[in-house]
Amino acid sequence: MLHKNTLLCAGLSAVFLFTQTSAANAAVVASMKPLGFIASAIADGVTDTQVLLPDGASEHDYSLRPSDAKRLQNADLVVWIGPEMEAFMDKSTQSIAPNKKGDDRPA
């Protein structure tokens, strides 16, 4: 009986460990720092959040670099406000699946 319980606990621990590992690999990308702070607070301890807009850059006239576009395409979740505020994101986010975008536009 003890051996059976040990195997059960080991199996459940392995399942839990692998489940946590796959969730921690999620890529969350926020368009600017304030959204990055919010996303980081929500995902605290689960995954890291990346911010596209560099310090000192304006969200109204920023141009995405190729590395930024690649991060957007590889992201599991993209958090941004919308094209009225962040025109630099509009074209790049059109090719991202609607379930991966966190914006205020209807899908």
Residue 80 · residue 58 · CB < 8 Å? no
Identify the sign of the CA torsion 31, 77, 67, 40: positive
More confident: 107 or 83: 83
Residue 51 pairs in a beta bridge with 30
CB atoms within 10 A of CB 37: 13
4-41 confidence digits (pLDDT tens): 444 333 443 444 444 444 455 679 999 999 999 999 99
The residue whose two tokens read 């599991």 is 76
Percent of the chain scoring above 70 in pLDDT: 71
Range of the domain at 64: 26-102
90 DSSP assignment: H
Whole-angstrom distance, CA of residue 75 vs CA of residue 73: 6
Residue 13 in any domain: the answer is no
Question: Which CATH number do you get for residue 85?
Answer: 3.40.50.1980
Whole-angstrom distance, CA of residue 1 vs CA of residue 5: 6
Our count of domains for the chain comes to 1
Residue 74 in any domain: the answer is yes
